[in-house]
Structure 1
Amino acid sequence: MRPLRRRRLLSGRRHRRRDAPAAPARARAPRRGVVLAVQLVVLMLFAALTARMWYMQVPRAEHYQELALASHTQKLIEPALRGRIVDARGRPLVTNRTELTVTADYHDLLERGDDGAAVLRRVADLIDRPYEKLRDRVRLCGPENGRPCWQGSPYQPIPLADDVEPRVALQIMERQEEFPGISAQQMAMREYPNDELAGQMLGYLQPITEEEFEAREDLRAEFSGVDRVGRGGVEAVYDERLRGDSGEHILAVSSQGDVRGTVSRTSPEPGMHLVTSIDADVQQVAEDALRGAVDKASSAGKPVDSGAAVVLDVRTGRVVAMASQPDYNPEVWSGGIDADTYEKLLSEDSGQPLVSRALQGQFPPGSTFKPTTLAAAAKDGASLDGSYSCPGSIGLAGRSWDNFGGAGYGSMDLHRSIVVSCNTVYYQLGYNMWREHRGEKETRDPVSAMAHGFGYGEPTGIDLPHESGGRVPDLQWKRQYWLDTRETSCERAEKGYPEVAEEDPGRARYLKSLAGEQCRSGGQWHAGDAINRAIGQGDMLVTPLQLARAYAAIANGGTVYEPRVGRAFLSPDGERVEEIEPVEAGELPVDDRTLNYIQKALTRVPKEGTASGAFGGFPQDRVSVAGKTGTATAQGREDSSWFASYAPTDDPQFAVVAMIPEAGTGGSAAAPLVREIYEGIYGFADSGEAALASGAPAASLPKVREDGTISSPEEQ
């Protein structure tokens, strides 16, 4: 009975538990809320993770792919073949040549127990170079390393020596057990087939500096560190187009730096060929004539060592030729330039051949400025039909102003004043305009305004670097100059010039007097300033290029162009032609009657005026030349010679300007030089061979043949 009762008891206990009242609802709710909150948090975290994964895999996929590759690959830049530079008829001015270059593999040398020292010593003996220089070349640039050093990629072949002999290269390649990590390969270098011809316009190449490479991220994507970039001339201005597009060579690299293979390779795209407006024959004529004129003046005892000549196409402003003396051969930059040669290029004793006198030299223009003064006076009310007195000397503003040589010509019109270059007429014109406008609240300066209209006082905008802007002196310029120099002038007015007085007491007194005047009233625009400027003297400065542009505008009817050396780009396959169009900078602020008046006066100068001696016997019936002589004087220096011109007068094609500092009068030095250039252009010289048989600049462009060479327009 007891077991049965126990079962009943147990059964009843279980029954009572089943029948026990349920837990209240409010006791269960918190537990459900916790569960829901946890689920919500999990869902939010999952959503955030999903969004982050999408962001990394879609918008940022390329970025992380590059990061992943960066730790396993190295990118090498393969330089493109630089485009050639040719003249207007397709003849080469700058080409490429290949040189055998000895290079070193940085990582291969590093694996040697001595970091490659023994190998480098053997290479140094073979190529006859100091071991220390080779060691410096393969040292990577960095904070702990000095210079010289290698600024490129350690995965790029490091050049040790350029232009080695084939026998040296052969020894290195055949005896690799002696020269591990060393190789010889072909590298493209610039070549100048015409030596120094147009060297200052063409420019040169130099390696990218470490500072450029580190400062500019865009360079790192385009250059390997061994490439060269344009540093002067059109090489610099059109560097990007000439350079082309570099290729990429992606190497698989282990964590230890070992190269495991090639991941990808993109071939470089060669640079565009640059067609210039230069005519090589005319350039040669100009350079030979200028060199001869400088030598002749120097042989005559003149202190002459420099000069410039410019030939422009008056219809477009393009540069046909531009010569400067002294000049140099850009070949000196190939393969690097030594310190002595570089110093010589900059030395005043050598005449600073890096400086182009044609676009950087600034000189008083002398009487070549008179057409500008005439135009200003006519616009201000002076009569083109009037009569003007040309005495040998004239008293103005409290002093006497003389004609050149003291000659007087009586009364004349303004046409005759240009032909005989009467200074006293222009002294009076300059003084009259100064006197008429000096009392106005808003000072108006007709000559300054006209000079700027002719393009003086600012760079021409030519596609060459480092152009000078010249100077048009006026009230605004003089005030600013006074403010800038007053302190120094007052100090000199008190102390004088003892260093000059030791050799030239008279000049020292003159300089001290000028300093005193500058200290007291240097900011005022005096009558003497205006009188001097009227004949292109005083503080007036122009470059030969500016003067050539101004006379080209007179010739073409008034259009002032920005000169251009670049004419067009040709793709290496000849499929693309991109012309560099002429750019109009403005119009001469001269009415048609005055412009025609000036043109007719300039036409008579070589026939019966100050240039008639230089052009005696020149076939003016075949090619009529218009021009103006200029003789610029300066305290303590010999007269400087100018001649500005254009031809033919009935259908102008060329503006030709020449300038030789301290060579004498315009008619004795510069005018004969310009005549020689015209004779060379038209074939009037003894040789009878015309530089331009057509008598005009090339109208058509050269073309690229199927074999990659460039044909002249005449062959088309």
Structure 2
Amino acid sequence: MSEGVARTGRRVRVLQGIGLSLMVLLAGRLAYLQSVDSDAYAAAADANTIREVVTPAPRGLILDDAGRPLVQNRTQLQITVDRTALSRQPDRGGAVLARLGRVLGTSADDLRAQIRPCGPGVTAPCWNGSPYQPVPVAVDVDSRVAMQVLEFRERFPGVEAISVSVRNYPQEGKANLAHVLGYLQPADEKDVAAQKEAGLRDPRLGAANLVGRAGLEKQYDSLLRGAPGVTRVTVDHLGHVLSTVEAAAPRPGNNLLTSIDAKVQAIAERALAEGIERARTVPDYRGRKYAADSGAIVVLDSTNGAVVAMAGAPTFNLSDWVGGIDAKTYARLVSDKAGTPLLARPYAAADPPGSLFKVISTAAAAKAGYDLNKTYPCPSSYTVGNQTFKNYESQAHGYITLARALEVSCDTVFYKIAHEMWLRDGGEKPVADPADPMQRMAEIFGLGRPTGIDLPGEIGGRIASREFKQSYWEQTREATCGRAEAANTDRAAVYGDDAARAAFLHQLDRENCIDGAKWRAGDAVNFSIGQGDTMTTPLQMARVYAAIANGGTLWRPRVAQAELTPDGDVVRTFSPVSDGKVDVAPKVLKYLLAALEGTARNGTAAGVFAGWPLVEMPAGAKTGTAERFGEDPTSWFVGFAGPEGDRSRYVAVMTVSQGGTGSGTSGPGVRAVLSAMLGVDRAAVWPNGLPPALPGRVEEQDGGE
């Protein structure tokens, strides 16, 4: 008995020891938490109970060169619902949403869907902003609707009618400018991460904030957005707001002064639209009407690269993006059938430049040793092997200079020179390091790469070359050979019912299947007149001619001129950026300039400039008609002129895809723009033909965003 009692006593003492040890450990941990780690846990507790509500700042304005607003803000009435206030109501806001739905012409279920937080498994509509701020459920509402909410607050607890700032587009002179200005959309995770990584002024960018998605709105987003307002609130464990800790008001974004002139822009857009309509409805001298499916126009200041006007067609309405674009409208903007209106054709689409390329071929010929004072044959056609290449309209001009070849746009002069250069490089068996003078000159003038304009989405185009052809052949050989083999059995099934077209395409596929990587004589002669695989944007061609007009400087095109405070003070200016001088002799550039002026006087552009005071105000031009198999020809036209003492200051390029001839379709549009800028046959947009003076320079900076 005594032994059992002893064992029990020992067990009790062991248990007492374990319990005492646990109590000591717990006491020590409590003391540690209260003393050593108290600050960390207090901060964690605060983090669990304090939330930030970010209020976006009013975006800065985008202004034209005279300070006229291209993009501004307007006040819009919105109806918002406070989710926290609804959650405190007995029915969790069911009755309020039902009453509000009747006012707004919708259902309580639709409103409830709008205010629920977005997340995994939650499809739109939903709210992707902070759960602690009111959710907009109706935007741009009529003032009478807003008054129903404001006058009967007791019937709508948690519902407010507020004024907010949204984007507005004055369209001075009906200028659209959509592809240059761009639009806004809600921020996503990538935007938030990019802001934090860059350390920009808005590290708390949230999904409810709007950011630039295209054009200047994207390029200069941080400049325009400003600093958000931040309200810190305490919330309970259910997420209900208890109190406001602090509130900082938003700071408006700065304004962006551009080189765009709204009046010139409106004239340019109208000229482009009229050119497209003219091509579609007015028969040319042969009675042809054209598809004219799209186009673009670019106006540059050749002395500094400033973009005076820029437009593409088809275009779109920027107001469609205010408040969020609907799926049907967006689908139309990216539809091939509608002509992809969202595509910025001045700098994000490319086509063969046609005869506008001949200035590059002439410069290459001069650099390769061809005498600019010598005459060259211009027959109606030129034969290479078993293939005959014709002049446009098969016209012959006898022996002429290279300058006259530019004036009358003689193809065969350039065919012969390109063929001779190809033979010097070894022809079908090229030398180890072919000179390819015309390709090198295209690179010298900046083709084959982006111009560096301060707009997102620019493409670099393409220079047709031996390297490109090899790469393209490797990528497409399997498909090409497959078509050729299938067509041996049923040609119509592969190429369609047009027998002549099918025969041509079948022969082309068979040749390309075997040795499509070779740079042939036909490739070389096509390249010399801007045909074949070479692709350039209208902006690139405007830059080429601006370099000729200004004596050889490749200015980087720029739209932004200055950053201004909301009060109009200059923060910084964006100075012109040069990409250097083209490697072309000054005498050659002067020769080209004189030849282009001859084109306007007595060449292919003489009809366009009929009645222009060419003696007092010389003008230059070049026409282009680029042909593609199975399509109508694409129209190109470049013209330049300037005020007294600066006769080649402004360069305008217009192109219409499948629009016919350069002089017939695009030429009148270019003349209309230059006439308005310089006051020929109409009042001048600018006094003395010069743009408004830039505000005082505070700090010159070459960079963009």
TM tier, smaller: 0.7 to 0.9
**1:183/1:703 CA distance change after superposition, 3 Å:** farther
Q: How many angstroms does 1:499 deviate by?
A: 4.9
Pick from 679, 695, 707 the counterpart of residue 689 of structure 2. 695
Any residues of structure 2 matched to 1:327-346 within 5 Å, and which? 327-346=315-334
RMSD between aligned residues = 2.5
Pick from 503, 519, 528 the counterpart of residue 534 of structure 1. 528
State the AA in 2 paired with 1:661.
S
Q: Please give the per-residue CA displacement for 1:638-681, whole angstroms capped at 9, x wherever unaligned.
A: 22211112213962221111111222221211112211111121
**1:120/1:545 CA distance change after superposition, 3 Å:** same
What is the aligned partner in structure 2 of residue 391 from structure 1? 379
Pick from 320, 323, 328 the counterpart of residue 311 of structure 2. 323
Matched, 1:673 2:663: no
Matched, 1:363 2:351: yes
* Conserved? CA contact 1:196–1:328, under 8 Å: no
Distance 2:445 2:123 in 1: 52
Q: Secondary structure at the match of 1:645?
A: strand
Any residues of structure 2 matched to 1:624-663 within 5 Å, and which? 624-648=618-642, 651=646, 652-663=648-659
Q: Secondary structure at the match of 2:633?
A: strand
What is the aligned partner in structure 2 of residue 31 from structure 1? none
Distance 2:456 2:194 in 1: 22
**1:255/1:404 CA distance change after superposition, 3 Å:** same
* Conserved? CA contact 2:570–2:695, under 8 Å: no
Unaligned runs of 5+ in 1: 1-45, 705-716
What is the aligned partner in structure 2 of residue 295 from structure 1? 277
Q: Please give the per-residue CA displacement for 1:177-202, whole angstroms capped at 9, x wherever unaligned.
A: 22121111111100001165211110
Distance 1:153 1:558 in 2: 55
* Conserved? CA contact 2:57–2:227, under 8 Å: yes
**1:306/1:374 CA distance change after superposition, 3 Å:** same
**1:241/1:499 CA distance change after superposition, 3 Å:** farther
What is the aligned partner in structure 2 of residue 208 from structure 1? 187
Distance 1:146 1:606 in 2: 60
Distance 2:187 2:279 in 1: 42
Distance 1:703 1:262 in 2: 43
What is the aligned partner in structure 2 of residue 255 from structure 1? 237
Distance 2:35 2:538 in 1: 68
Matched, 1:376 2:364: yes
Q: How many angstroms does 1:69 deviate by?
A: 2.3
Distance 2:693 2:544 in 1: 23
What is the aligned partner in structure 1 of residue 214 from structure 2? 232
Distance 2:142 2:118 in 1: 29
Distance 1:247 1:419 in 2: 62
Matched, 1:94 2:71: yes
* Conserved? CA contact 1:72–1:255, under 8 Å: yes
Any residues of structure 2 matched to 1:554-703 within 5 Å, and which? 554-648=548-642, 651=646, 652-685=648-681, 688-701=682-695
Distance 1:92 1:216 in 2: 27
Return 539-548 or 136-145, whichever deviates more: 136-145
Q: How many angstroms does 1:216 deviate by?
A: 7.8
**1:256/1:661 CA distance change after superposition, 3 Å:** closer
Return 164-173 or 599-608, whichever deviates more: 164-173
Distance 2:138 2:110 in 1: 10
Any residues of structure 2 matched to 1:56-75 within 5 Å, and which? 66-75=43-52
**1:530/1:312 CA distance change after superposition, 3 Å:** same
Distance 1:581 1:465 in 2: 19
State the AA in 1 paired with 2:554.
V
Return 535-544 or 576-585, whichever deviates more: 576-585
What is the aligned partner in structure 2 of residue 30 from structure 1? none
Matched, 1:115 2:92: yes
Pick from 169, 172, 178 the counterpart of residue 146 of structure 2. 169
Q: Secondary structure at the match of 2:348?
A: coil
Distance 2:111 2:81 in 1: 10
What is the aligned partner in structure 2 of residue 42 from structure 1? none
**1:423/1:548 CA distance change after superposition, 3 Å:** same
What is the aligned partner in structure 2 of residue 10 from structure 1? none
What is the aligned partner in structure 2 of residue 245 from structure 1? 227
Matched, 1:514 2:508: yes
Matched, 1:222 2:204: yes
Matched, 1:525 2:519: yes
Distance 2:85 2:508 in 1: 70
Q: Secondary structure at the match of 1:637?
A: coil
Distance 1:65 1:314 in 2: 64
Return 68-77 or 604-613, whichever deviates more: 68-77
What is the aligned partner in structure 1 of residue 703 from structure 2? none
Q: How many angstroms does 1:619 deviate by?
A: 1.9
* Conserved? CA contact 1:282–1:680, under 8 Å: yes
What is the aligned partner in structure 1 of residue 403 from structure 2? 415
Matched, 1:197 2:176: yes
**1:694/1:701 CA distance change after superposition, 3 Å:** farther
Bigger Cα Rg: 1
Matched positions, count: 649
**1:440/1:135 CA distance change after superposition, 3 Å:** same
Q: How many angstroms does 1:703 deviate by?
A: 11
What is the aligned partner in structure 2 of residue 80 from structure 1? 57
Q: Secondary structure at the match of 1:103?
A: strand
State the AA in 1 paired with 2:444.
G
State the AA in 2 paired with 1:182.
V
What is the aligned partner in structure 2 of residue 551 from structure 1? 545
Q: How many angstroms does 1:502 deviate by?
A: 4.0
State the AA in 2 paired with 1:432.
E
Unaligned runs of 5+ in 2: 1-27, 283-288, 699-705
* Conserved? CA contact 2:84–2:241, under 8 Å: no
* Conserved? CA contact 1:89–1:701, under 8 Å: no
Q: Please give the per-residue CA displacement for 1:482-540, whole angstroms capped at 9, x wherever unaligned.
A: 11111111111111364564442322222222222221111111111011000111111
Q: Please give the per-residue CA displacement for 1:428-459, whole angstroms capped at 9, x wherever unaligned.
A: 11111111123321222111111011111111
Matched, 1:274 2:256: yes
State the AA in 1 paired with 2:460.
G
**1:583/1:130 CA distance change after superposition, 3 Å:** farther
**1:113/1:260 CA distance change after superposition, 3 Å:** closer
**1:583/1:513 CA distance change after superposition, 3 Å:** same
Distance 1:134 1:99 in 2: 20
* Conserved? CA contact 1:472–1:539, under 8 Å: yes
Distance 1:653 1:131 in 2: 62
Return 313-322 or 63-72, whichever deviates more: 63-72
What is the aligned partner in structure 2 of residue 19 from structure 1? none
State the AA in 2 paired with 1:660.
V
Distance 1:66 1:655 in 2: 63
Q: Please give the per-residue CA displacement for 1:39-66, whole angstroms capped at 9, x wherever unaligned.
A: xxxxxxx9xx99x988x79xxx7x7775
What is the aligned partner in structure 2 of residue 710 from structure 1? none
**1:510/1:65 CA distance change after superposition, 3 Å:** farther
Q: Secondary structure at the match of 2:345?
A: coil
**1:361/1:215 CA distance change after superposition, 3 Å:** closer
**1:184/1:225 CA distance change after superposition, 3 Å:** farther
Pick from 111, 127, 130 the counterpart of residue 153 of structure 1. 130
Q: Please give the per-residue CA displacement for 1:269-327, whole angstroms capped at 9, x wherever unaligned.
A: 21110111100011011011111111111112321132111100111111100121122
Pick from 467, 473, 491 the counterpart of residue 482 of structure 2. 491
**1:430/1:673 CA distance change after superposition, 3 Å:** same
State the AA in 1 paired with 2:649.
Q
Identity %: 42
- Provide the TM-score with structure 1 as the length reference: 0.86
Distance 1:335 1:702 in 2: 37
Distance 1:364 1:530 in 2: 14
* Conserved? CA contact 2:293–2:658, under 8 Å: no
